[in-house]
């Protein structure tokens, strides 16, 4: 099992998401739960496409953290 970081952003109509480790792999959804489910399917299809075309599947390397700034 491999874990890929996904970035979820709020939009005017719901949510969008992408993975820094999988350029071009994106998904949208009306709710956070829906966008996560859609992204899981998108990543699976993206990886299947890479394999079918003979490309190496990228290893996940992205990490996340928060920095607190006084405002």
Q: What is the pLDDT of residues 26-51, one digit of tens each?
A: 999 999 999 999 999 999 999 999 99
Q: Give CA–CA dist 65/71, Å, rounded.
A: 18
In a domain, residue 68? The reply is: no
Structural domains of the chain, count = 1
Give the C-alpha distances (Å, rounded to integers) separating 38 from 6, 23, 65, 71: 12, 16, 24, 35
Q: What is the pLDDT of residue 56?
A: 96
What is the CATH number for 17?
3.30.160.250
How does pLDDT run across 4-18, given as a tens digit for each residue? Answer: 999 999 999 999 999
In a domain, residue 17? The reply is: yes
């Amino acid at each position: 099992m491999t874990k890929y970081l996904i970035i979820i952003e709020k939009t005017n109509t719901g949510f969008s998401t992408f993975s820094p480790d999988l350029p071009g792999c994106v998904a949208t959804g009306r709710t956070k739960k829906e966008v996560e489910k859609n992204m899981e399917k998108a990543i699976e299809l993206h990886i299947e496409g890479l394999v079918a075309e003979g490309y190496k599947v990228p290893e996940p390397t992205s990490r996340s953290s928060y920095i607190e700034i006084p405002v």
